[in-house]
């Protein structure tokens, strides 16, 4: 038996998609360090290859010539500041991308967990029912052989048994699919899971979780927590930083240096201060500035679209969750326990011939359908709550 908390811990530790997302954040953080770096200084050395006066190669003597220059580029226009801002926003986007992955896999895990729980409960019901009907068939077969009952009763019971076995196979197939979904979420590298995950769930605790906030309150939380919306917001800020960077690119950088020439200047041992700059006559980065201006407007539009989608999605999911939660709390949740107790009495009454095969078959069909529907409405309510959790961006309902 495993609780949802235990599975969530395994998910956070083992899920390879989340591990990859964490590595992406580290990669982006490393680029922040790189963006803060100064350009390397440039050192140039010139040495004459052949001195035709002294007939020497690489003459480093007093009659030869050696040149040195050391230049440092100073970036103007806050280019370095803009690059740091861009790298910072890329890290924030990587963090929100990880949170979005976590939001999705957490939702998948919790949804699969609840499905597995009710599938397991349904399988237990079918196992008990099949065993009961098999025993009843065996006793009725003996009664038929003793000519106490008609063959039609035996056939009717066997038909019930076959129907239960067939329905159990359908549930078992769904159970296998859900198990696969759960295992794919929580297995990690060299940590395969070769056993069935049996969910442990406190339904009484879940009953206490109710939707007690308004749509506007949940919307306020979603705007602060939804990673996809925050990603859209950070993308806008990143494009603004890129626009500032392209504007800064229109400002030429200044190259400051010192130079020395042993014999190549107008005097021996020539020392000089050098200054260099590109003249922004033809290329003032107009094209890239224009492109980033439109890109920034595009990101603003995408953010507006993302906010609208968030509002409509949350509204729809909120209304659905409220409806199902209300319907669930209006259902008599003692139904399944009462039916289970009554089922045992009905089997005994039939075996004692106190009720007919028709009454017994009708009851068993109603019992089966009622229990399955009871599980179904509980599951639908839980899944609706999980959809609301996902739409808000954090766990606001259910433990």
The model's confidence at residue 364, banded by pLDDT at 50, 70 and 90, is: confident
pLDDT in tens, 139-154: 888 888 887 788 888 8
pLDDT in tens, 17-37: 999 999 999 999 999 999 999
Planar angle of CA 39, 42, 47, nearest 5 degrees:
170
Question: For residue 133, what is the enclosing H or E element?
Answer: helix 79-145
Provide the mean pLDDT of the chain: 91
Same domain, yes or no, for 140 and 47? no
* Mean pLDDT, range 1-12, rounded to an integer: 91
Number of domains in the chain: 2
Same domain, yes or no, for 260 and 296? no
Alpha-carbon distance of 52 to 72, in angstroms, equals 34
Among 261, 284, 307, the domain boundary falls at 284
* Domain assignment present for 50: yes
Same domain, yes or no, for 127 and 229? yes
Same domain, yes or no, for 357 and 219? yes
Same domain, yes or no, for 152 and 245? yes
Same domain, yes or no, for 257 and 384? no
Same domain, yes or no, for 336 and 307? yes
pLDDT in tens, 165-224: 999 999 999 999 999 999 999 987 666 788 899 999 988 888 777 788 999 999 999 999
Same domain, yes or no, for 89 and 146? yes
Planar angle of CA 272, 273, 277, nearest 5 degrees:
130
pLDDT in tens, 245-257: 999 999 999 999 9
Among 226, 260, 284, the domain boundary falls at 284
316 — phi, psi (to 5°)? -65, -45
* Domain assignment present for 398: no
Among 233, 261, 284, the domain boundary falls at 284
Alpha-carbon distance of 210 to 223, in angstroms, equals 22
Same domain, yes or no, for 47 and 31? no
pLDDT in tens, 255-264: 999 999 998 8
Same domain, yes or no, for 134 and 262? no
pLDDT of residue 8: 93
pLDDT of residue 116: 97
* Domain assignment present for 399: no
Same domain, yes or no, for 116 and 256? no
pLDDT in tens, 32-41: 999 999 999 9
pLDDT in tens, 328-359: 888 766 666 666 777 778 888 887 888 888 88
Question: For residue 368, what is the enclosing H or E element?
Answer: helix 357-392
- Unique residue bearing structure tokens 């590109």: 278
DSSP secondary-structure letter at 395?
A: -
Reply yes or no on whether the pLDDT at 362 is more than 80.
yes
What percentage of the chain exceeds 90 in pLDDT?
66
Q: Tell me the three state secondary structure of residue 73.
A: strand
Alpha-carbon distance of 368 to 318, in angstroms, equals 31
pLDDT of residue 333: 64
Alpha-carbon distance of 188 to 201, in angstroms, equals 24
CB 87 within 8 A of CB 32: yes
Range of the domain at 368: 4-39+77-250+285-392
Alpha-carbon distance of 392 to 385, in angstroms, equals 11
Same domain, yes or no, for 200 and 65? no
Q: What is the CATH number of the domain that holds 239?
A: 1.20.1600.10
pLDDT of residue 109: 96
* Mean pLDDT, range 120-136, rounded to an integer: 92
pLDDT of residue 299: 96
* Domain assignment present for 397: no
* Domain assignment present for 95: yes
């Amino acid at each position: 038996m495993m609780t949802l908390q235990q599975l969530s811990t395994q998910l956070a530790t083992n899920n390879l998609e989340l591990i990859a997302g964490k590595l992406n954040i580290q990669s982006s953080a490393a680029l922040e360090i790189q963006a803060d770096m100064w350009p390397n200084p440039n050192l140039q050395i010139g040495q004459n290859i052949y001195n035709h006066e002294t007939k020497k190669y690489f003459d480093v003597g007093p009659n030869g010539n050696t040149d040195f220059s050391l230049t440092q580029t100073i970036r103007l226009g806050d280019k370095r500041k803009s690059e740091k801002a861009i790298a910072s926003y890329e890290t924030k986007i990587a963090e929100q991308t990880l949170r979005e992955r976590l939001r999705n896999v957490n939702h998948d895990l919790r949804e699969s967990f609840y499905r597995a729980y009710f599938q397991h409960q349904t399988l237990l019901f079918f196992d008990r029912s099949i065993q009961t009907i098999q025993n009843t068939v065996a006793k009725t077969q003996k009664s038929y052989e003793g000519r106490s009952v008609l063959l039609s009763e035996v056939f009717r019971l066997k038909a019930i048994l076959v129907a239960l076995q067939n329905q159990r196979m359908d549930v078992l197939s769904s159970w296998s699919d859900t198990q696969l979904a759960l295992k794919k979420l929580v297995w990690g590298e060299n940590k395969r899971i070769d056993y069935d995950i049996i969910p442990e769930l406190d339904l009484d605790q879940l009953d206490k979780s109710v939707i007690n906030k308004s749509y506007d309150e949940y919307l306020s939380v979603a705007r602060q927590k939804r990673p996809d919306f925050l990603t859209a917001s950070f993308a806008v800020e990143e494009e603004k930083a890129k626009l500032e960077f392209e504007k800064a690119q229109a400002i030429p950088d200044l190259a400051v240096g010192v130079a020395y020439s042993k014999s190549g200047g107008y005097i021996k041992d020539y020392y000089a201060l050098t200054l260099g700059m590109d003249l922004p006559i033809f290329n003032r980065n107009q094209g890239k500035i224009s492109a980033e201006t439109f890109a920034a407007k595009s990101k603003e539009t995408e953010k507006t679209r993302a906010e609208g989608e968030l509002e409509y999605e949350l509204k729809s999911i909120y209304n659905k969750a409220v409806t199902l939660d209300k319907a669930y709390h209006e259902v008599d949740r003692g139904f399944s326990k009462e039916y289970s107790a009554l089922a045992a009495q009905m089997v005994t009454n039939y075996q004692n011939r106190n009720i007919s095969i028709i009454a017994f078959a009708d009851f068993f069909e109603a019992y089966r359908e009622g229990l399955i529907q009871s599980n179904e409405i509980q599951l639908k309510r839980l899944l609706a709550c999980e959809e609301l959790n996902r739409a808000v961006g954090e766990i606001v309902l259910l433990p």
